Structure 1
Amino acid sequence: MADPSPASFGTQANALLRKNLTYQRKHIWTNVRLILVPLFLCLILLAIQHVLDALMKGVSDMTGDCKSNADLSGGICPIPNPPMLPAMSQIPQHELRSVKTDFLPYKDLPDKSSISANIFATSFAVNSSDLLPTLANNSLGSPIAADKDNYADPGLAPGLPIYNIQPLCIANSTWPLSLEKIQTEVKCVQGLCLWRNNSADVNNELFKGSYRGNPAGITNEIAAAYDLMSTDKKNFNVTIWYNSTYKEEFSTGPVKLVRVPRSINLISNAYLKFLKGPGLRILFEFVKEVPKHATRLNTDIASLLGPLFFTWVVLLLFPVILTSLVYEKQERLRIMMKMHGLGDGPYWLISYAYFLTISVLYVASLVIFGSVIGLKYFRLNSYTIQSVFYFIYLNLQIAIGFLVSSIFSKVKTVTVVAYILVYGTGLLGSFLFQTMLENQSFPEEWIVALELYPGFSLYRGLYEFSQYASRGNGMKWQDLSDSGMGEVLCIMSIEWFLALIIAFYIDQVFSSGKHPFFFLNPFKKSSSIPSKPTVQRMDSKKVSIDMGKIDVSQEREKVQQLRNEGSAGHAILCDNLKKVYPGRDGNPPKMAVRGLYLDVPSGECFGMLGPNGAGKTSFISMMTGLLKPSSGTALVQGLDICKEMNKVYTSMGVCPQHDLLWETLTGREHLLFYGRLKNIKGSALTQAVEESLKSVSLFDGGVGDKPAGNYSGGMKRRLSVAISLIGNPKVVYLDEPSTGLDPASRKNLWDVIQCAKQNTAIILTTHSMEEAEFLCDRLGIFVDGALQCIGNSKELKSRYGGSYVFTMTTSSEHEEDVERLVSTVSPNAKKVYHLAGTQKFELPKQEVRIAEVFRAVEKAKSNFTVFAWGLSDTTLEDVFIKVAKSAQAFISLS
């Protein structure tokens, strides 16, 4: 026996958890394949790592053969004594040097190629015995950009000339130069110092000469420029302009050095000359890197490719979560569980914990396996930081999944969108977001703005892991402030909280049908005392219709009396229930249910008959919470469906028109789950499930232990009825329960429903008149959204079928004889059918005696041949057709 009290929060949560675990066990191989994805990727990375290690083994072995300073590139060889190199200026390429042009207004620029805005010596002299000091007395420059370090200067490569900047060059001014093992030559290049009266002119000239800024496509590049600002004999205040395009050369590689030390030295010497005269100067002899140990090239493939691949790995959980949520929405399994008593709280708690558990196991297997096979990406970075980062992001991903699932209703659509987001996020992160991260000139505010997208937050965190792992020390807690990880953790934590709140709010408003501002009155108690009905004006036409339907009028008066008395004893009480669908595409609004008044006490089965489109499904949908009434209301066990639907669900059972089942769960597992929701526990639950399976013929042969996806249509229908009746609910809605059943199964199902209605109010919709007569205590014929009549089968037949139906089949030439025969028996007989010798007549019962009909037929047989004849009472089907046609005819006339 079921506990009469509703299932508690813990009981509902336990039921859903057991169902989910059972469902998960059915999909164990899907989970195995899901977990194998990151493991397979780790193995691929490990294989690539071994290949790279083998390829780099020969290069790495060179560290044992390195001679001192043999490798000046800053690569793998140790450099205990870095070379002393002359400091050079960065000068433009020959074809880019500043000359007179139409777009610059200054007339003091040279007609031929020169270098402007430098301070330099007037001659070039080299003392080979003391080379660097003599070179320091000259202004040397190179058009080749500096490298990322000073172990070797690309401008000193053999075969490349070095330029000595002088005010005036003599023809063929070149000098040989021998520096260490580098043999090259020094060429003279004319330099020009130009004076501008204010910094705005300097800035304008530099901008118009910029390689990127010149709109005419003509480059007029300046080597360097100075703004002395407030410099005087007591203050040295200077701003130096230099061409920053030489810093990175438009690449995303390591940042290169900038040749500015010589420019600083030149302006400093100029200031000293200004103060002390031309005899005093600062000698800038050389630049030199610090010594370095032997290093290996970074071949940690996981650190190099980790941000892209591990972004894909973690994001692969998103389509799994999203499709699962949308599948429940598409198949209406969520609302089915809700209609059988599952509250929003247990659903959110168990579903969230369910997805979080799967996600944590998934990522934990990735980290553990990656560490076991030796990937530095996982082994070097602090495991606690990794745990916190992944945990926060997984929670954010689940919250976003709940939020996004409210937008979609089709699994196929959301699957495509989810995988586009997965792979698109990885690619955009790798080719766009990472470029912005490595570009030091990109504003930090824009980086933070991009990280508001959760996928980029994930990518940023994984990128920081890869950077610290590639350095060989890994990320520790003290590194959070120096990296972007602390910022990412804060952003994801805030977004997790906000996404969860918004997702829950949308679910409550759109799925649970609550008012958009329901949170403003959390402590307001809804009253179960029904309010008095409002008096509504009705036009004369509608009043005359209702007066013609005495049974419908009496039903309305009874409902209004019960509402006025405040009676809450009846199981179902519909008070002026209406549903209007808004007009679309120029069509007028559709009135699906027109002011329905209905009282169904406990122990009664009320049958609702009606043609397709009459409004029966809309009525059932309102009573089960799928649709909100446009006006009016209904009370179920004294609870208002407009305000207390969640309480109504705890005492309700539903067999929908279409079977809502999990394909992989068995019939027994379905009944166990819904039985727990009805607060049935222990041995009582086992007994209730056994009896339910036996009652619907799903027990024998182990049918109840087979997946519902393997059931036939009739077996699924029987299971749906068993689900609606388990736990002895107070109110049950059966929407065409016997559809698709064979005669024997239908009769057995009728017996089950007949037995269940003893303490239950049942509303049943059907197109089978036989089913309606067998099961229903009262019937209502529903046409065009309104009840046309109410009563039991005998009352309806008596009221709408006060005639016998006489049928006779003869040859065509004797049809008039049949008509004369009928007129003698019943003068007011009415012909209702005529086809190929077969005629059907309605004979008023008050005019006919059955014995006279038999005598008249026997007498007629002696005059002409009678092939067949019959006399029958009015059937329920005849009543249904008559009422439906009359109502539709009246509607078309009005």
Structure 2
Amino acid sequence: MESSSSYSSRGAASFFTQANALLRKNLTFQKRNLKTNIGIVAFPILLCAVIVLIQKVVEEEMNKYGHRCGCQGGVCGIQYSSLDQFDACPISSPFEWPALLQVPRPESRAVTSDHPTPAGLPDESCKVSQSCPASVLFTGGNQSFAQILAQSLFLSSSTALNLSDFPRSLSTVILGTDTSTGNTQFMEPAFVSDRPLYLIQPQCASNATSPLSFIIANKSIELGKIFSCREHDYLVFFLPLFLFFVNLSFPFELLLKKLLYSESLVFEMTTELQCVQGLTLWRDNSSLINDELFNGYQQGNSEKKIKEFIAAYDFLNSDEKSFNLNIGYNSTYNNDGNGYLVRVPRSVNLASNAYLKFHNGPDVMAVLEYLKEMPKTGTQLRFDISSLLGALFFTWIIELLFPVILTYLVYERQQKLKIMMKMHGLTDGPYWLISYVYFFSLSSLYMICFVIFGSLIGLKFFRLNDYSVQIVFYFFYINLQIAMAFLASTFFSAVKTATVTGYIYVFGSGLLGPYLLQFFIEDTSFPRAWIIVMELIPGFSLYRGLYELSQYSFKGDQMGTSGMQWRDLNDRQNGMKDVLIIMFIEWLVFLPVAYYLDQVLGGIRKDPLFWLNCFQKKSPSSQRKPSLQRQGSEVLVETESTDVSQEREVVEHLLLEPNISHAVISDNLKKVYPGCDGNPDKHAVRGLSLALPNGECFGMLGPNGAGKTTFINMMIGLITPSSGTAYVQGMDIRTNMDQIYTSMGVCPQHDLLWETLTGREHLLFYGRLKNLKGRALLQAVEESLKSVDLFYGGVGDKQVAKYSGGMRRRLSVAISLIGDPKVVYMDEPSTGLDPASRNRLWNVVKHAKRDRAIILTTHSMEEAEVLCDRLGIFVDGGFQCIGNAKELKARYGGSYVFTMTTSANEEEEVENLVRRLSPNANKIYHISGTQKFELPKQEVRISDVFRAVEIAKSKLTIHAWGLADATLEDVFIKVANNISMSFHD
């Protein structure tokens, strides 16, 4: 053990010393749980490997003969092509299609009632007959010149359709469609839908509708080239698909045979052709045009009245010598944003032709003969499983750290290890810093292994998306997850409940992501604000971010491009930016809230307004004032015993002195638990006053439920007093518990130890918290192990899980004494020890009390007599008597106990003998010839008793007899019974 001056010389442990102690303990704890940690880190690696295996199996299955272009059963040739093989076939010469305008549907065309400035728009009555014109807005710096060009927009060079050469024959007329674009295997959707084609004219005759018949193919097919699958394969590719869309009942196999065995094929298509008036409307500036275009924006909301235009032209500074313009068009017809045949070229061509006609006459024009897609090579089907399933599986992988962290935090709460550390000097700052850094390091290692391994094995989810975007996203979420675990841990007191709840959250949020959140994300009509509200749940924000990464990687893999880049966060449809902002804000909010709740709801609870204390200035003169409350249900001064009243007077006198020399002073300390359900209040401690100097061991004796543990809990800060206070080393327990903990040691009633740490590691940790370092630390640990008989035989280097109950108890005593604390609380320290170990432990305590104050509770009267300098019998919340063992036995044990055993028929003679010795003798025991009597000391002398027994031996058959003084146990029973009877009366 250390000298009494060692603590004052080294002082309290600094912030970094405490942080170092906790970090070393955590690293040692994790070293003991190495297998568990390896399993945690290996789980995402295993799942990534499973995904790769599934990817290989799926790719192998998808690229068998039945899924290649024109291959079935091991035999290849285009004659074996089927609809599910089209994506794999090469298209060296995509089909040519006419350039069309995107025309609004009749019910969506702009009319006067739809716009606040409807200049030039038709009346809404045209919607009844579906004859509303399709409007084009235009503006420019030179209005007259802009109007000349606008009047030429819809002037066709020919109104007679010669469709013998499709599609070039349609380049001289202005055709439009209201069909949306989409991926239809390089086909123009307008020619495979049931919607009419529109002929755009400056004026239309009424009911200008006629059938349109044209040949879409008239090509010679050489049989030798069919099997080569190189040239003219677009006919075989497009025509069956075309007929499949136009007429689902068309015999697909018959068409293939016709293509194979015929050298030519002529297919005539008939569709409805409607005339639509193209109306050009002037607006004063581009801002007015933007407002009207915005009102006509197709947002997918069926309840919104859509008011659409064909296009809008801003001729800017165009004049006779220069041509400059901006064109606006409705991009919402470009389904999914994939860029399929966006119908803008015809709008550009119209404006260009209008300018050419102005300069060179009406017969001059730039002919836009056709549009076609880029050729494509033959491909194998690709289906990236990691991108398709990544949002779900990776949500589970990342969130699995949450119950791990939560379980660890709740374990420390359930086992009261956090309280134990704090009572030995660990402050909040080092605990939160090291715990947070420790969990962050574990999470970072987990995610680094996850990303690196996923990239190495080729998962496109990781390889295609920008790594910096992924790093920022994972960094924000693991910090949010740690903060959320700290916050959630304040609401749990049992590890099992926390673990079950944590895994329910993980799998529940993972499943609700694809089956709830994703449904709303992909529904363009669902309000974006509500999606953001749903993403406030951390599990949903994680899923949304992973969903965006998976979507970009999936598209990038299909299109041969990269995945998500930083520039993509500016996309309105991309939710990653919102997710990052939400996670960052929640991280900053969850941490302080978690700290506040930990202080208010944690093991050592503080007042909800504790944070106001930092704004209050303490007055030194008012820090110590004797409490004068003596009312209510407290034990009244008049009913207190003399020694208890004297102790109260000593306390009041000490508190008036400028400096407190005593180690512990309890000033009228009281704890009242409010009654409920009509029951009265429970007074656990009734105005307790006690002064304890250094070098004294004070023992508290009392029956179960007397209030001893409540008093100890108030002194060590676990509960707050209802009134009164106490001072430890001159510091108030109400305001200075953090400072008190640095000079305090506690041996709790139940051992609070880490199962996987050794006895030596426990003492090293708590020794560092008491600012022991280097050789002094190692020497103190070794002496502590020797003193409690845990040094020899390597016992101190065994894990606590292998300790017996007595060994754990001895270790708890050693922990309470290491670091030379000035005040030590021991709650039944020798419970469960064998006699030899108990005697050695008593020697340790007797040696330790020389330079420190010890408050000890026990039910062993022998222990109390051996260790305690003073004793207090504590009954029903208050001291009934205070003094050393001899004083209490003299005061409350004023009788001898006389015992005699004879034959049963001689019991009366024995009782007569006792009555002659002491008329006021009291028989307290009687069974089968054995009788026990209390003899008042003032009525008998010991010599008279011996003389009377010698005389009685000649007359009676005496088997045994004895005369004993009263024991401490007799005193305790007498005081406790008297108090219980008085309260009962």
- TM class by smaller structure: 0.7 to 0.9
Q: Are 2:90 and 1:77 equivalent residues in the alignment?
A: yes
Superposed CA offset, 1:501-534 (max 9, x none): 2222223334354443444453656567642113
Match of 1:354 in 2: 438
Cα distance in 1 for residues equivalent to 2:633 and 2:301: 88
Q: Tell me, yes or no, if the aligned pair for 2:170 and 2:369 is still in contact at 8 Å.
A: no
Match of 2:447 in 1: 363
Match of 2:744 in 1: 652
Q: Give 2:453's aligned amino acid.
A: F
The counterpart of 1:129, out of the listed 145, 160, 164, is: 164
The counterpart of 1:17, out of the listed 17, 23, 27, is: 23
Match of 1:679 in 2: 771
**Secondary structure of the corresponding residue to residue 437 of structure 2:** helix
Superposed CA offset, 1:843-868 (max 9, x none): 00111112222222233333333333
Alpha-carbon spacing, 1:226–1:448, altered in 2? closer, same or farther (3 Å) = closer
Cα distance in 2 for residues equivalent to 1:127 and 1:191: 17
Match of 2:152 in 1: none
Q: Are 2:762 and 1:756 equivalent residues in the alignment?
A: no
Match of 2:47 in 1: 41
The structural deviation recorded for 1:83 is 3.3
Match of 1:217 in 2: none
The counterpart of 2:216, out of the listed 172, 179, 193, is: 179
**Secondary structure of the corresponding residue to residue 290 of structure 1:** coil
Alpha-carbon spacing, 1:87–1:20, altered in 2? closer, same or farther (3 Å) = same
Superposed, 1:449-468 pairs within 5 Å as 449-468=533-552
Superposed CA offset, 1:49-100 (max 9, x none): 2223323435786499999x999967763454333269799999xxxxxxxx
Q: Are 2:653 and 1:570 equivalent residues in the alignment?
A: no
Cα distance in 1 for residues equivalent to 2:545 and 2:968: 72
The structural deviation recorded for 1:455 is 2.1
Cα distance in 1 for residues equivalent to 2:411 and 2:810: 23
The structural deviation recorded for 1:314 is 1.2
Match of 2:376 in 1: 293
Cα distance in 1 for residues equivalent to 2:197 and 2:910: 132
CA RMSD in angstroms comes to 4.8
Greater shift, 2-11 or 441-450, is seen at 441-450
Q: Tell me, yes or no, if the aligned pair for 2:897 and 2:933 is still in contact at 8 Å.
A: yes
Alpha-carbon spacing, 1:457–1:828, altered in 2? closer, same or farther (3 Å) = same
Q: Are 2:61 and 1:55 equivalent residues in the alignment?
A: yes
Alpha-carbon spacing, 1:840–1:292, altered in 2? closer, same or farther (3 Å) = farther
Cα distance in 1 for residues equivalent to 2:194 and 2:698: 104
Greater shift, 762-771 or 477-486, is seen at 477-486
Q: Are 2:891 and 1:854 equivalent residues in the alignment?
A: no
Q: Give 2:97's aligned amino acid.
A: M
Cα distance in 1 for residues equivalent to 2:487 and 2:382: 42
The structural deviation recorded for 1:798 is 0.5
The counterpart of 2:524, out of the listed 429, 440, 457, is: 440
Alpha-carbon spacing, 1:255–1:818, altered in 2? closer, same or farther (3 Å) = farther
The counterpart of 1:814, out of the listed 906, 910, 931, is: 906
Match of 2:787 in 1: 695
The structural deviation recorded for 1:141 is 9.2
Cα distance in 1 for residues equivalent to 2:102 and 2:24: 75
Cα distance in 1 for residues equivalent to 2:428 and 2:465: 40
Q: Give 1:809's aligned amino acid.
A: T
The structural deviation recorded for 1:291 is 2.2
Q: Tell me, yes or no, if the aligned pair for 1:225 and 1:240 is still in contact at 8 Å.
A: no
The counterpart of 1:390, out of the listed 474, 479, 482, is: 474
Alpha-carbon spacing, 1:227–1:689, altered in 2? closer, same or farther (3 Å) = closer
Match of 2:568 in 1: 479
**Secondary structure of the corresponding residue to residue 60 of structure 2:** helix
Match of 1:611 in 2: 703
Match of 1:419 in 2: 503
Q: Are 2:120 and 1:29 equivalent residues in the alignment?
A: no
Superposed, 1:702-717 pairs within 5 Å as 702-717=794-809
Match of 1:469 in 2: 553
Cα distance in 1 for residues equivalent to 2:835 and 2:423: 30
Superposed CA offset, 1:597-637 (max 9, x none): 00111111000000000001101111111111111000000
Figure out how many residues of one structure are paired with residues of the other and give that number: 834
**Secondary structure of the corresponding residue to residue 556 of structure 1:** helix
Cα distance in 2 for residues equivalent to 1:550 and 1:585: 38
> Which consecutive residues of structure 2, in runs of 5 or more, have no partner in the other structure?
106-124, 135-158, 199-204, 218-234, 240-266, 278-299, 311-327, 352-362
Q: Give 2:851's aligned amino acid.
A: N
Cα distance in 2 for residues equivalent to 1:598 and 1:540: 19
The structural deviation recorded for 1:168 is 9.2
The counterpart of 1:332, out of the listed 411, 416, 419, is: 416
Cα distance in 1 for residues equivalent to 2:367 and 2:493: 73
The structural deviation recorded for 1:440 is 3.2
Greater shift, 289-298 or 393-402, is seen at 289-298
Greater shift, 879-888 or 308-317, is seen at 308-317
Alpha-carbon spacing, 1:837–1:445, altered in 2? closer, same or farther (3 Å) = same
Cα distance in 2 for residues equivalent to 1:310 and 1:871: 82
Superposed, 1:246-325 pairs within 5 Å as 288=371, 290-294=373-377, 297-325=381-409
The structural deviation recorded for 1:456 is 2.4
Match of 1:534 in 2: 627
Match of 2:225 in 1: none
Q: Give 1:504's aligned amino acid.
A: Y
Q: Give 1:820's aligned amino acid.
A: N
Alpha-carbon spacing, 1:63–1:635, altered in 2? closer, same or farther (3 Å) = farther
Q: Give 2:639's aligned amino acid.
A: D
The structural deviation recorded for 1:452 is 2.4
The structural deviation recorded for 1:447 is 3.0
**Secondary structure of the corresponding residue to residue 611 of structure 1:** coil
The structural deviation recorded for 1:461 is 2.4
Cα distance in 1 for residues equivalent to 2:440 and 2:487: 15
Q: Tell me, yes or no, if the aligned pair for 2:635 and 2:687 is still in contact at 8 Å.
A: no
Alpha-carbon spacing, 1:394–1:876, altered in 2? closer, same or farther (3 Å) = same
The structural deviation recorded for 1:259 is 12
Superposition TM-score, scaled by structure 2 size: 0.75
Cα distance in 1 for residues equivalent to 2:468 and 2:182: 38
The structural deviation recorded for 1:729 is 0.8
Alpha-carbon spacing, 1:126–1:890, altered in 2? closer, same or farther (3 Å) = same
**Secondary structure of the corresponding residue to residue 750 of structure 2:** coil
Q: Tell me, yes or no, if the aligned pair for 1:7 and 1:678 is still in contact at 8 Å.
A: yes
The structural deviation recorded for 1:453 is 2.3
Superposed, 1:702-851 pairs within 5 Å as 702-851=794-943
Superposition TM-score, scaled by structure 1 size: 0.82
Match of 1:488 in 2: 579
The structural deviation recorded for 1:658 is 0.4
Match of 1:502 in 2: 593
Alpha-carbon spacing, 1:772–1:536, altered in 2? closer, same or farther (3 Å) = same
Cα distance in 1 for residues equivalent to 2:705 and 2:535: 52
**Secondary structure of the corresponding residue to residue 847 of structure 1:** coil
Q: Give 1:81's aligned amino acid.
A: P
Q: Are 2:750 and 1:637 equivalent residues in the alignment?
A: no
Cα distance in 1 for residues equivalent to 2:815 and 2:980: 37
Greater shift, 872-881 or 579-588, is seen at 579-588
Greater shift, 730-739 or 83-92, is seen at 83-92
The structural deviation recorded for 1:145 is 8.4
Q: Give 1:781's aligned amino acid.
A: I
Alpha-carbon spacing, 1:526–1:348, altered in 2? closer, same or farther (3 Å) = farther
Cα distance in 2 for residues equivalent to 1:595 and 1:42: 65
> Which consecutive residues of structure 1, in runs of 5 or more, have no partner in the other structure?
93-107, 194-209, 214-221, 229-238, 269-279
Q: Are 2:972 and 1:875 equivalent residues in the alignment?
A: no
Greater shift, 367-376 or 132-141, is seen at 132-141
